[in-house]
Amino acid sequence: MASREEILRALEDVIDPELGRSVIELDMVRDVFVEGARVGVTIALTVPGCPLRASFQEQVDRALLPLDGVDEVELAFDVMSPEEKAALTARLRGGVSERTPGISVDAGTRVLAVASGKGGVGKSSLAANLAAAFSELGQRTGVLDADVYGYSIPHMLGIHQRPVSVDDGERAMIVPPVRGDLKVMSIGFFLDENTPVMWRGPMLHRALEQFLSDVHWGELDTLVVDMPPGTGDVAISLGQLLPRAEAIVVTTPHRASQQVAVRAAQMARKTNMRLLGVVENMAYLTREDGSREELFGAGGGEALAAEVEAPLLGRIPFDPRLGALADEGEPIVLAEPEAEVSRAIASLAETVAATRREEGVGIVKPLPLVRS
Ligand SMILES: Nc1ncnc2c1ncn2[C@@H]1O[C@H](COP(=O)(O)OP(=O)(O)O)[C@@H](O)[C@H]1O
Ligand SMILES: [Mg+2]
């Protein structure tokens, strides 16, 4: 017969997929009973009807069934009381070492704002796929859909569950839903048809600030932010609430689109973001015979990079499968990693990951030659 202690030790490996910590550490485990070869465990969740039950079931089975003397595992769920939720909130908040007036992320988290002069250039598609690519690189990654004019990130990543909100009586704490290891949050989760009014006037900045500071990201290496397009109030307010952010400006190859994108780059600098560089999206289409066709003009990315004095970080080809897969909630970098567009986005992620934030220093890349 397994002992209670053995069972609790084994349950340390059961991780709440959204909170990213062990159910033991988070004090979520209730009555453990052992009756011969039958073991029963109750886990207290933050919300009833949590969509992650299957994951818990699978993890608990995996942790307990290999134990000596355990043949059968019964998992039950309970819901936390308000006091327990408050305790959980306090425990989770303890992990954030620096609290800033804006976004609530750890000081070590890199905030990467994906901006554009106008909509329709593929900003959200790149943000979603870049985030997936960072996650594939082994980085703990979050993606924030902050484009208040059109939330698309959750859809593109196939997120159907809503975030869990844990209220400790004073402040809400919003826990982002996950897709695999990727944490996903959208301002759209918190809007209903009556709220657009909030995005105007003096309420705007406060509402954004509140939202950003209430989201519990946990420990992240990189947070990718899908910014609202253009240089309006919302983009500026958001920019101010993303301290230490770095910006990537997306443009299409068409020369005329460069003018509009320049303003987005200037806006990023005005809100104290470090402009990391420019990405040209829909740069070309590769035909089956290997020839390339420049469908949407040429030179826009280079011209923009020259104008804003930042590097051209990547040219991403056009591939209709990117949009089709996004509609099914599949980022192409995960669904078809060998596609040319996926490799281009993965290589963009690597380029970005190889740059370091350093005051006054441009892009710092490891030189391949100095490795001995
Ligand atoms: N590299 C690409 N290849 C093919 N289609 C793309 C590419 N990038 C974006 N798209 C498509 O272009 C449209 C606009 O993209 P989206 O990411 O929503 O732009 P934005 O966020 O800038 O408004 C979408 O239909 C998307 O599927
Ligand atoms: Mg978009």
Range 57-61 average pLDDT? 95
Whether 251 is in the pocket of ligand 1, judged by its Cβ within 6 Å, is no
Q: Which of 265, 275, 269 has the alpha carbon at shortest distance from 112? A: 275
Per-residue confidence (pLDDT) for residue 15, from 0 to 100: 92
Mapped onto helix, strand or coil, the DSSP state of residue 31 is strand
As a whole number of angstroms, the distance between CA 308 and CA 358 comes to 19
CA of 146 to the centre of ligand 1 (A): 17
Give me 107's structure tokens.
């000081």
Per-residue confidence (pLDDT) for residue 201, from 0 to 100: 59
pLDDT at 363 over 50: no
Whether 155 is in the pocket of ligand 1, judged by its Cβ within 6 Å, is no
Kindly list the structural domains of the chain, giving each domain's residue range(s) and its CATH number in brackets, ordered by start: 4-80 (3.30.300.130), 110-370 (3.40.50.300)
Instruction: Give the model's confidence band at 241: pLDDT under 50 very low, under 70 low, under 90 confident, else very high.
Output: confident
The share of the chain scoring above pLDDT 70, in percent, equals 88
Tell me how many helices (H) and strands (E) the chain has.
12, 15
Per-residue confidence (pLDDT) for residue 7, from 0 to 100: 93
> In this predicted structure, which of 23-32, 54-63, 113-122, 330-339 has the lowest mean pLDDT?
23-32
pLDDT at 131 over 60: yes
Q: Which helix (H) or strand (E) is 240 found in, with range?
A: helix 233-240
Average pLDDT, rounded, for the chain:
86
| Residue 253 contacts residue 299 (beta carbons within 8 Å) | yes
Per-residue confidence (pLDDT) for residue 164, from 0 to 100: 84
Q: Is 97 exposed, middle or buried (0-12, 13-18, 19+ CB in 10 A)?
A: exposed
> In this predicted structure, which of 68-82, 187-201, 218-232 has the lowest mean pLDDT?
187-201
Per-residue confidence (pLDDT) for residue 206, from 0 to 100: 76
Whether 252 is in the pocket of ligand 1, judged by its Cβ within 6 Å, is no
Range 270-291 average pLDDT? 93
| Residue 287 contacts residue 293 (beta carbons within 8 Å) | yes
> In this predicted structure, which of 19-33, 84-98, 240-254, 353-367 has the lowest mean pLDDT?
353-367
Per-residue confidence (pLDDT) for residue 371, from 0 to 100: 33
Per-residue confidence (pLDDT) for residue 168, from 0 to 100: 65
Q: What is the pLDDT of residues 179-213, one digit of tens each?
A: 999 999 998 887 655 555 555 556 677 777 878 88
CA of 123 to the centre of ligand 1 (A): 7
Burial 121-151 (b: 16+ CB within 10 A, else e): bbbbbbbbbbbbbbbbeebbbbbbbbbbeeb
Q: What is the best residue among 118, 123, 125 to mutate for testing ligand 1's pocket, by most ligand atoms within 8 Å of CB?
A: 125
Whether 152 is in the pocket of ligand 1, judged by its Cβ within 6 Å, is yes
Pairing relationship of beta strands 141-145 and 182-186 according to DSSP bridges: parallel
Q: Which ligand is nearest to the CA of 118?
A: 1
The residues with which 35 forms a beta bridge, in sequence order, are 38
Per-residue confidence (pLDDT) for residue 361, from 0 to 100: 37
Q: What is the pLDDT of residues 5-15, one digit of tens each?
A: 899 999 999 99
Per-residue confidence (pLDDT) for residue 193, from 0 to 100: 53
CA of 14 to the centre of ligand 1 (A): 38
Phi then psi dihedrals of residue 42, to 5 deg = -115, 130
Please give the number of the atom of ligand 1 that sits closest to the Cα of 282: 1
pLDDT at 115 over 90: yes
The share of the chain scoring above pLDDT 90, in percent, equals 54
Per-residue confidence (pLDDT) for residue 10, from 0 to 100: 94
pLDDT at 367 over 50: no
Q: For the residues of 322-348, what is the DSSP string, one character each?
A: HHHHHHTT--HHHH-TTSHHHHHHHHH
Q: Which ligand is nearest to the CA of 150?
A: 2
